[in-house]
Structures are given as structure tokens and as C-alpha cells.
Structure 1
Amino acid sequence: MTQTLGAQTIALVKATVPALEAHGMDIVHEMYARMFRDPAIRDLFNQSHHGASDAQPRALTGAILAYAGNIENLAALAPAVERIAQKHVGLQILPEHYPHVAEALLGAIRHVLGEAASDEVLAAWGEAYWFLANILIAREKRLYGAQAEAAGGWNGWRDFRIEDVIRESSVIKSFVLRPVDGGPVMDHKPGQYLTFWFEIPGHPAAKRNYSISAAPNGETYRISVKRESMGLASGWLHGQAPGTVLKVAAPAGEFFLDGRPTRPVVLLSGGVGLTPMVAMLEALVAEGAEVPVHYLHGTHDRDTHAMRAHERIAGIKIQDSRPARDVLPFC
């Protein structure tokens, strides 16, 4: 990232760090409350991250603090910017949505900080916001373009039909998805996810990300989903049968196995966290990787050990060789 912010803006933003450390969560909660008054903006977000865990507000508070603290060294934020851009592309965030966030953020800063949020401070944060926003918009434009240009790629929401449902464990089911239009699907990078727009009767639109749990094949995707005890989307999805049509965004995500590795590969996962690892493992086998590959997976017990008898990973036998509640080696 090239530093182009003015010295006064940098000084004012850095001066707000103590206030952000003290009141950051209050500012973020107020910001989301303002944005979510508009149902169209609310539906852009994964609402499961705004519940009791406060996962998204905490993450955004940390991001704002990191931005303010590194305003003179934005290169340090490059990995975080890429992660945010990938999430935005999955959620179908577009340039026209950014002004809503700017208005809500600046309004929240003024509301929470009161007189401390002078016109100069708000102007500095407005400049800093749009500086970062324009970086994100440019990166997201490139990502959307790459999706549209890829063989089998698309932008927006594409209809996929559930072709098969596989019970993987007492809590996890896999869903094989094929596009309704009968066309090919773009190759994902093993480890990436799909974003879904669920229309669940009696509830607002729900967006969820699920890792793709299979290597690229150009025709279908597979996701493997744990049914959470209080999970609206996972509970609904577990009740669906072949034939159900789902709205799906193109693969996204910055966590993936890239290319043919030249060093030994070690994969570690726990519970339903095995999904991206299985995709990586399948891809390594399909590509004939010539390096040692070790995969260790931990789960609660044998009943929750998903894909124990998975046979699509050619040449690799998945077996239990430790007691329940211990680490279960996949290979």
C-alpha cells in the first residue's frame, strides 16, 4: 500500500487510539445499529456473527484499532486487507455500499465520543476511511473480474441444486451441489469457501460461509456442515433433501493451498475444521504431490469423526488408531 494520507490526518487518527481502546466496541455496536436500520444493508451481513458471541463487532473493533495504530505503516495490514476483500466478495459487497458504512461509522464516533469527536477528528477519520475503502474497492474489483473471467465463473448469486446428501458423522452432513443451469463451475483453490444466501421461512435472509470439502472437479462443489444446536442456517440445511435449490456466490477466501508444494505438508484440524483440509488432501492426491503429507485431526469421539471412511481420497486409507477423545490420524 502506498502512503498518501496527510500528516495532519495521520496525527489526528493516531491521537484517537486511546479513545478507541476505551470505547471501540461501543462505537462498533452503534455503527452496526445505524446500518441495520436499513434491511437491504442488514441483509448484506452474516447475522450469526452479531449474536451473543459478538464475533464480528470484536473483529471490526480490532481492525479499526490496527488501522489507527498502523496508519503510518499500512503495508503491515496487507494480509488483513486481503482477508476483508475476500469476505466482501463472498458477501457481494459493492462500491455503492461503502457510503452507508462511512455515514454509520462517523455518526457512531460522534455519538459515542461526544465533544472529543471534533469536526477535525471526524474529517480525519473520513479521509482515513475512504483511503482504505478505495484500496478495498480496487482489490474487490479485481477479484470480481477474476471470478467472471474464469472458466465456469460468475458474479452475484447463482442457483445450485443439492444433488446428494451424505451423512458423515452424528453431527456433520455433506451436500453435493450442481449448478441449475447445467454449466461448469470454476475451480476453487483448496481451502476456499462458498457463501450462501438462505431464504428460511419466517426469518430474514441468512448468509453463511461454508468451506468446500472436495478438490476442484469443474462440475460440482461439496460442503460439509456441522449442525449447531442453536444454528438457524445449519439446522435448516440439515433438513434439506436432494432437489433443494440454493443461492451461491463464487468461491472466495485467502486461506488455501497454493500450487504444487515443494516442501512437506502438515495439515491440522479439529471437529468440522476438517473441511478445507480434506479439500487440500484430495487436491494433493489428484495432483500427485511428490512431498510427504501428514494430516492430524482431532474430534470429540468416533461418532463425531466425519469422513472416517472417506474413499474419494485415492490411495489414502482413513482409519482410527487412537482411543476416542484423542487425536485421530487421517494418514
Structure 2
Amino acid sequence: MRTSISKQQATIVAATLPSILARRQQFEAAMAGHMARRGPFDPAKHRYQVTAASIIDMLLDHAGGIAEDGGIAIIPHHGQRHQRMAIEGDHYSAFGDGLAPILRDVIPAEASPEAIAAWGDAFWAITRSVMADAMRLAA
């Protein structure tokens, strides 16, 4: 289970993070729409909005703390919060499926194939770290 990204990917994530943060509302709205269409939700309950926002919080908080060597720092409250919200693998998968096209829409000038790959790998490394930490705390 890989819970880190390469140094090159960490550099790309750090370089593109400010653009994503500047467009966070657009990113969140696009991801909520994607999750409503593709996620494992009952759209009538609108849970996709809070789930998308919570996963975005996790991604951006951790992305800001990725070490130069690509290491992922543990921020425990995300795993605990996701457990309480019953965010599971299907939710992360739906989010991950929408990440590349949404990044292309939100930061088109910076959404090179390398940046898309870096963010995808970062998302999955962060997700694995958060899920592993939540399982450790639950044991």
C-alpha cells in the first residue's frame, strides 16, 4: 500500500496547490455535481455535497503538508470525521474518478498530464493514509 508520492510529484502538487485553493469554490461545486451524478448517493438527500466538501478538506489539508520527499503527514481528524460520516471506499472512488476532469476545468492552464497524475497519486496516497489511520484508531 503506497502512502507517499515521488519528490517530483510533491513539487508539482506544491506548485499547483495555490491555484486550486484560489478556485476552491469552483472545485467544490464541480466535485459535488460529479458526486451527485456518479457517487453512491440518494440525490434527494444532498449528502453528496457534504461528502465532496469533506474529501476536498482532506485532500487540500494534506496536500499542503506533503513533505519535499513526498511523505504524507497524518492529520487524524479527517479519518475520524470520515468514519462518523460513513464515507467509504465507493465515495473515495467516485471522487477519484472525477478528479482529473474537474482539475482540467478548474485549473486548465496548469492541468498538464503530469499535474493530473501527481494530484491523482497524491489523492490516493492521502486516502490510504487517512483510512489506515482511522482503522488503527478504531482498533
TM-score range, shorter chain: 0.7 to 0.9
2:113 alignment partner in structure 1: 119
Q: Secondary structure at the match of 2:37?
A: coil
List alignment gaps of at least 5 residues for structure 2. none
2:41 alignment partner in structure 1: 41
Q: How many Å apart are 1:34 and its aligned residue?
A: 0.5
Give runs of aligned pairs for residues 259-278 of structure 1, distance below 5 A. Answer: none
CA distance in structure 1 between the aligned counterparts of 2:39 and 2:60, rounded to whole angstroms: 28
Q: Secondary structure at the match of 2:87?
A: coil
Choose between structure 1 and 2 for higher RCO, CA contacts under 8 A separated by at least 6 residues: 2
**Sequence identity of aligned pairs in percent?**
27
Q: Which protein has the larger Cα radius of gyration, Structure 1 or Structure 2?
A: 1
Q: CA 1:85 to 1:60, structure 2 compared with 1: closer, same or farther past 3 Å?
A: closer
1:70 alignment partner in structure 2: 65
CA distance in structure 2 between the aligned counterparts of 1:134 and 1:105, rounded to whole angstroms: 16
- 1:21 counterpart letter in structure 2: L
Q: Secondary structure at the match of 2:11?
A: helix
- 2:6 counterpart letter in structure 1: G
Are 2:77 and 1:83 equivalent residues in the alignment? yes
Q: CA 1:98 to 1:119, structure 2 compared with 1: closer, same or farther past 3 Å?
A: same
2:86 alignment partner in structure 1: 92
TM-score by length of 1: 0.35
1:13-57 deviation per Cα after TM superposition (whole angstroms, max 9, x unaligned): 0110221232122112111110111463356x874x75xxxxx84
Q: CA 1:91 to 1:112, structure 2 compared with 1: closer, same or farther past 3 Å?
A: same
1:140-172 deviation per Cα after TM superposition (whole angstroms, max 9, x unaligned): 33456x4xxxxxxxxxxxxxxxxxxxxxxxxxx
- RMSD after superposition: 3.1
- 1:33 counterpart letter in structure 2: G
TM-score by length of 2: 0.75
Q: Secondary structure at the match of 1:92?
A: coil
Q: How many Å apart are 1:83 and its aligned residue?
A: 1.4
Of Structure 1 and Structure 2, the greater strand share is in 1
CA distance in structure 2 between the aligned counterparts of 1:12 and 1:96, rounded to whole angstroms: 27
- Moved >6 Å (runs of 4+): none
Q: How many Å apart are 1:8 and its aligned residue?
A: 0.6
Of Structure 1 and Structure 2, the greater helix share is in 2
1:15 alignment partner in structure 2: 15
